[in-house]
C-alpha cells in the first residue's frame, strides 16, 4: 500500500473522471497483484479500472495504451465474481462500454439505473 498516494496523484484526472461518471468516490487500491482504481456500488458491487496487465496501474502514464474496466460482485467467501469487462484506449469509453455490457448480460445495476445515475450512452 505504500504507493497508493503516488498513484492517486499520478491518476488524479482518471479518479475525477470516474467519480463524476459514477457519482461516487473513486480511490486507488492495492489489489495484492498491483494497483487499481476502485469505485464501490450498492449490493456489494464494485468496479476496478486498470491500464497495465501485470501492474494494474502503470507507473508511466505515457506508456498507457488501453484501459480495462471490470465490474465485480462480491461473494460470501470474501472473493469476487467478475460480471463484465471492457477495454478501450480511453478510460471514459471503457467505462461506457462496461455499463452497456452490464445491460446486455443481464447484470445491470437496477438501483443505479432507476435513479438515472448510470446509463449506457443512448439510454438517456
Beta strands in the chain (DSSP E): 26-30, 35-40, 45-50, 67-74, 80-88
Q: Residue 113, SS3?
A: helix
* pLDDT of res. 115: 45
pLDDT in tens, 12-26: 999 999 999 999 999
The answer to whether residue 40 is domain-embedded is yes
Please list the residues that pair with 5 across neighbouring strands: none
List the domain range (segments joined by +) for residue 28: 4-115
pLDDT in tens, 58-110: 887 667 789 999 999 999 898 899 999 999 999 999 999 999 999 899 887 66
User: Domain total for the chain?
Assistant: 1
* pLDDT of res. 124: 44
Q: Residue 49, SS3?
A: strand
The answer to whether residue 78 is domain-embedded is yes
The C-alpha atoms of residue 123 and residue 96 are separated, in whole angstroms, by 11
Q: Is it the case that residue 120 has pLDDT exceeding 60?
A: no
The answer to whether residue 121 is domain-embedded is no
The answer to whether residue 104 is domain-embedded is yes
The answer to whether residue 120 is domain-embedded is no
The answer to whether residue 123 is domain-embedded is no
Specify whether the backbone of 18 is left (phi greater than 0), alpha (psi in -120 to 50) or beta: alpha
Specify whether the backbone of 34 is left (phi greater than 0), alpha (psi in -120 to 50) or beta: left
Specify whether the backbone of 28 is left (phi greater than 0), alpha (psi in -120 to 50) or beta: beta
The answer to whether residue 59 is domain-embedded is yes
Enter the pTM of the model.
0.85
Amino acid at each position: 500500500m505504500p504507493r497508493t498516494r503516488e498513484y492517486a496523484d499520478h491518476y488524479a484526472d482518471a479518479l475525477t473522471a470516474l467519480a463524476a461518471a459514477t457519482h461516487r468516490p473513486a480511490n486507488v487500491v492495492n489489489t495484492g497483484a498491483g494497483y487499481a482504481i476502485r469505485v464501490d456500488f450498492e449490493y456489494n458491487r464494485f468496479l476496478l479500472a486498470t491500464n497495465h496487465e501485470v501492474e494494474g496501474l502503470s507507473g508511466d502514464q505515457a506508456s498507457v495504451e488501453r484501459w480495462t474496466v471490470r465490474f465485480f460482485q462480491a461473494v460470501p467467501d470474501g472473493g469476487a465474481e467478475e460480471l463484465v469487462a471492457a477495454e478501450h484506449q480511453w478510460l471514459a469509453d471503457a467505462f461506457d462500454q462496461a455499463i452497456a455490457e452490464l445491460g446486455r448480460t443481464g447484470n445491470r445495476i437496477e438501483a443505479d439505473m432507476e435513479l438515472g445515475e448510470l446509463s449506457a450512452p443512448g439510454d438517456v
